[in-house]
Structure 1
Amino acid sequence: MATRTTYETGLEKFNRTSKAVDILFNLNFIILALLCVIPVIVVLSISLSSENSIRETGYRLFPVALSGEAYAFVVQQGTMILRAFGVSALVTVAGTVIGVLLTTTMGYALSRPSYKLRGFLTWVVFIPMIFNGGLVSSYFINTNLLGLKDSVWALILPLAVSSFNVIICKTFFKSTIPDGLVESAEIDGASQQRIFFSIILPISLPVIATIGLFLCFSYWNDWFQSMLYIDNQNLYSLQALLNSLMSNVDALAKNAASMGVSYAVLVATMPKESARMAVAIIIVLPVAFAYPFFQKYFISGLTIGAVKG
């Protein structure tokens, strides 16, 4: 009887401790969620605030004076915004497709034990993840050797493949694709291309979604490649345009002035702070809407590819 009472007392203490730990974890996740959500709410609030209220009261969590002048101004500059949006969309879609194809094929080849150069090429992939050639060498190769200056390919090719993504793919294929599956297909006379595209890829949706999301985020949020390689304003991405806005208040007005709009009038009337935030919201929305559809594959692909051996 005493032993049972002691057991029940210990169980009650364990339950109380477990509940306390659960509460602490929940509070921690709530705080982390708020740290992610509140900045977005502030940016949205600023984009919906009048320029006068921003000058008088500064940034607020909720708008002091609601105004849609920032979005109206963005709509007025529709040609420039749509062109930049189109460049970003083109680069993101094309870069993601090319990057997924190159990364998965390389990861699959390195995961096959029968591939003779597997060990050597694994080191070739791994070393650049620790040491890289530097900005000067990559700029020289992309501009002088490959001739990508002022080309949309300069926004796509430098980000298409990364060592980290290749290693994730290699680990995923090695841990989830049985050797017997590939061997049986080879016995039936299937080529390596047929095996990869007809058998391997259809059962590898988690890692494809994971790499696709990594690449999609990288391309959509990238502005650095535009700063390095793009001088033609017609090839500016939406992120490069936002970066110009952040570094130069009058950048949007200058862009619009080059299209025949009075520069003096735009500088005097444009909603500077709220226009910046409106463009930021426009950039965030597509990724925010797309992520929930890929979240399941993203989580499973990342955990399988990164944790197993």
Structure 2
Amino acid sequence: MIKESLSDRLLKGLFYILLAVFAVYCLMPFWSVVASSFSSEASILKNGYMFWPSDFSLEAYKLIFEDNTIYRAYGVTTFITLVGTGMSMVLTSALAYALSVKSVKYRNKIAFYVYFTMLFHGGLVASYLLISKYLDMKDTIWVLIIPSMLSAWNMFLLRNFFASIDESIAESAKIDGANDAYILFRIILPISLPAMATIGLFYALSYWNKWFDAMLYINDKNLYPLQYLIQRIMTNLDYINAISADVNIPNFIPPALTVRLATTVVTIGPIVFLYPFLQKYFVKGLMVGAVKG
């Protein structure tokens, strides 16, 4: 075992201190949002944002959770995140593995076709007509999943990772009689957990924050995802603020700021808790695509 010198220990200690200070610096804005969301609107207008609620209040959260609409939206968002991420990972990994195998015929042409979609697309009008009229998916929960199932960018990242895996592993399995599906799901994917965790996190964040598609295709209130519902709440609050400013109601302060802070805590809370479970894979997954395939 190599004994560290005093200068090495001091330098390592300095790095630890700097990282700790930087971590606290990054957490301060988030903690300020959480603390201020439990404050009253009047205290924020008077004292500004703070790191500890001076006038503790739950009015913002009561406004958000006043009925079961928010819980239903949570259920919709959770469903599209879990199901959408799972389906996207299966489709993305299957296509990425096929394009990483050099023996696949026309793989370069297929890869160019996928890449072409990153540069050119039909636009919003064409997409709306295709999804709502010809595919008839409007006002269904699948309209929030199926059109976003495959990301060309994520597919190429995963393909490059698969291409960096030694080909002898798959060749040995084929000699033993394994088919491509067995090789993918039983050999390639288990040794690609860093890449799968990273791409899965990208997909999960995309599905969790989905609101624009709901605004275009969803009219049924029971199918509103969480982010779109929050957006509608904020729009209604802006309208209330405008009305209260014109009417000038005495002693009435619309909870605009506190509701914005509370909605931030409500929407990012569950997805933030996902990071600790993926942390051990995420550091390695940052190198996804770094090796040219």
Match of 1:195 in 2: 183
Secondary structure, counterpart of 1:63 in structure 2 = coil
Match of 2:249 in 1: none
Letter in 2 for 1:109: A
Quick one: distance in 1 between partners of 2:18 and 2:266?
Answer: 31
Letter in 2 for 1:129: M
Tell me by how many angstroms 1:214 deviates: 0.5
Match of 2:159 in 1: 170
The 8 Å contact of residues 245 and 251 in structure 1, kept in 2 or not, is answered as no
Match of 2:60 in 1: 70
Letter in 1 for 2:53: P
Tell me by how many angstroms 1:146 deviates: 1.4
Give yes or no for the alignment of 1:140 onto 2:134.
no
Match of 1:281 in 2: 265
When normalised by structure 1's length, the TM-score is 0.79
Q: How does 1:83-98 map to 2 (within 5 A)?
A: 83-98=72-87
Match of 2:3 in 1: none
Range moving further from structure 2, 103-112 or 37-46: 37-46
Query: Structure 1: where are the runs of 5+ without partners?
Result: 1-14, 253-267
Give yes or no for the alignment of 1:216 onto 2:204.
yes
Match of 2:27 in 1: 37
Secondary structure, counterpart of 2:189 in structure 1 = helix
Letter in 1 for 2:264: A
Larger Rg: 1
Higher helix content, 1 or 2: 1
Q: Deviations over 1:255-298 (max 9, x none)?
A: xxxxxxxxxxxxx7974432332222111111111101102212
The 8 Å contact of residues 73 and 270 in structure 1, kept in 2 or not, is answered as no
Tell me by how many angstroms 1:191 deviates: 1.9
Tell me by how many angstroms 1:196 deviates: 1.5
Quick one: distance in 2 between partners of 1:204 and 1:115?
Answer: 21
The 8 Å contact of residues 211 and 228 in structure 2, kept in 1 or not, is answered as yes
Tell me by how many angstroms 1:219 deviates: 0.8
Give yes or no for the alignment of 1:241 onto 2:229.
yes
The 8 Å contact of residues 41 and 253 in structure 2, kept in 1 or not, is answered as no
Range moving further from structure 2, 146-155 or 102-111: 146-155
Give yes or no for the alignment of 1:225 onto 2:213.
yes
Instruction: Kindly tell me the number of residue pairs found equivalent between the two proteins.
Output: 273
Tell me by how many angstroms 1:29 deviates: 9.2
Quick one: distance in 2 between partners of 1:127 and 1:25?
Answer: 45
Q: Deviations over 1:150-178 (max 9, x none)?
A: 111111122221111001111000002x2
Match of 2:248 in 1: none
When normalised by structure 2's length, the TM-score is 0.83
Secondary structure, counterpart of 1:209 in structure 2 = helix
1:109 to 94, 98, 102: 98
Give yes or no for the alignment of 1:294 onto 2:278.
yes
Give yes or no for the alignment of 1:160 onto 2:149.
yes
Q: Given the superposition, is the C-alpha separation of residues 168 and 228 from structure 1 closer, same or farther in structure 2, using an over 3 Å criterion?
A: same
Q: Given the superposition, is the C-alpha separation of residues 61 and 247 from structure 1 closer, same or farther in structure 2, using an over 3 Å criterion?
A: farther
Tell me by how many angstroms 1:247 deviates: 2.4
Secondary structure, counterpart of 1:119 in structure 2 = helix
Tell me by how many angstroms 1:148 deviates: 1.4
Percent identity, aligned pairs only, is: 41
The 8 Å contact of residues 42 and 253 in structure 2, kept in 1 or not, is answered as no
Query: Structure 2: where are the runs of 5+ without partners?
Result: 1-6, 241-251
Range moving further from structure 2, 222-231 or 22-31: 22-31
Letter in 2 for 1:64: S
Letter in 1 for 2:31: I
The 8 Å contact of residues 72 and 222 in structure 2, kept in 1 or not, is answered as yes
Q: Deviations over 1:234-267 (max 9, x none)?
A: 1111111111122221789xxxxxxxxxxxxxxx
The 8 Å contact of residues 246 and 276 in structure 1, kept in 2 or not, is answered as yes
